[in-house]
Amino acid sequence: GENVEQHPSTLSVQEGDSAVIKCTYSDSASNYFPWYKQELGKRPQLIIDIRSNVGEKKDQRIAVTLNKTAKHFSLHITETQPEDSAVYFCAASPNTGGFKTIFGAGTRLFVKA
């Protein structure tokens, strides 16, 4: 069935460094790729998304890249801050059939001050 693999499961960086989280999806019909940030005990919140007609999107310190041929997409956070510490989920959603959104397993990011 459809699957989204996310790596790494845990990432620890020093404040000010960059963090990169990578995801791979299996369903070639996927064409919408959101990223969510979830702080402890809180709801997942959308931080950035990308659609299949775009290869890269940037919003301040956050950027997402998409390689549809390789079925890879990545989240890049630059100049990390302690408040970036959270669990990040990638997801892939097809534009056909049941529109199921499949989430990756999550990456726990620690930003050390």
Partner 1 sequence: DSGVTQTPKHLITATGQRVTLRCSPRSGDLSVYWYQQSLDQGLQFLIQYYNGEERAKGNILERFSAQQFPDLHSELNLSSLELGDSALYFCASSRNVGGSSDTQYFGPGTRLTVL
Binding site for partner 1 (CB under 8 A): 31-32, 34, 36, 42-46, 49, 51-52, 89, 93-106
Judged by CB, which is closer to partner 1: 47, or 111?
Answer: 47
Yes or no: say if 102 and 71 are a contact pair by the CB < 8 Å rule: no
Rounded (to 5) percent helix, strand, coil in the chain: 5, 60, 40
Judged by CB, which is closer to partner 1: 13, or 103?
Answer: 103
The nearest distance, CB 79 to partner 1, in angstroms, is 26
Which structure tokens are listed for 81?
């801050």
